[in-house]
Structure 1
């Protein structure tokens, strides 16, 4: 039986989120001054658009209103998606981060920044950027070797597909 409020809320709200085609990633209840804030983070393999966020927010609000899960005190409900530099903790997070640059904290206290090229049940195939003009190298990383992983925001990456199309047009 669940003992924490977050666990009880997850049991109550996860079926609603799932019915909307989304995954429930995180639930937190924070005190902000005299109010409480219930933050619900949702996502999917294709991301979540504003209409989906609004729909799930209404469904969650209605469910919370018909139960006493948040008690009698006032609270605000915030529903959103993970941030750009989210932590990767579940297998599905790594799958969704394929082709993205990720910074890994390794269990042996090492650190690695690499692009995820493939994900399977045992681990990741990575492309490690070359240093000082050298070519990128490939590396295999097993899930047990990962202590933490966080997606990195890339501002100047050229899309390989667009680059190939531009080169073909020039020819």
Structure 2
């Protein structure tokens, strides 16, 4: 069913772009004896509200019903990436400059700090009053940290 998700991806990207959103992720898989089409949307200029998810869910649901691409029953879920969203490279680092994030590096280190500077190929975080610089290609994965 990965093929279906790949088939739907460009269609939903275009649909979401028209509404001012981006497709963050799409997965279609069986979970607990039922099929789930999970679509994660993002707003490049702000946040994704519950109303946004409802609106996009309605749009996507209408499209899927009209095209009849999924022949069996399924559950459609539309959500945001969440408060502790994964960061996907330099554009996200730039977008979330000033925010607290956690970085897992290839050498096994884990660094939590505020994104201070984003350069062409490197990052600077402020962690416990110290600046920590590293090459972006050393990042294994990263995500925002929730702040209260």
Distance 1:86 1:60, change over 3 A: same
TM-score (norm 2): 0.86
Aligned counterparts of 1:9 and 1:33: Cα–Cα separation in 2: 23
CA distance in 1, matches of 2:60, 2:20: 14
TM-score for the superposition, normalised by structure 1: 0.76
For 1:89, the equivalent position in structure 2 comes to 88
Equivalent residue in structure 1 for 2:137, among 139, 144, 151: 144
Give the gaps of 5 or more residues in structure 1: 130-135, 156-171
Secondary structure (helix, strand or coil) at the match of 1:87 reads coil
Q: Flag structure 2 segments of 5+ consecutive residues without an equivalent.
A: none
1:118 corresponding residue in structure 2 = 117
Point out the structure with max Rg over C-alpha.
1
Q: What's the CA shift string for 1:37-95, capped at 9, x where partnerless? A: 111000113012233222211111111112243x2101111111012222212433323
CA distance, structure 2, for counterparts of residue 28 and residue 75 of structure 1: 12
How far did 1:21 drift? 0.4
Query: Is residue 65 of structure 2 the alignment partner of residue 65 of structure 1?
Result: yes
**1:165: which partner in 2?**
none
Higher strand share: 2
Aligned-residue offset at 1:9: 1.5
CA distances 1:128-147 after superposition (whole Å, capped 9, x unpaired): 11xxxxxx112323210111
Q: CA deviation at 1:12?
A: 2.0
**What number of residue pairs does the alignment pair up?**
146
Q: 1:68 & 1:151 partners in 2: Cα distance?
A: 37
Higher deviation after alignment, 28-37 or 12-21:
28-37
Residue number in structure 1 paired with 2:17: 18
Secondary structure of the residue aligned to 1:116 is: strand
Change (3 A) 1:44 1:95: farther
Contact 1:43-1:81 within 8 A present in 2 as well? yes
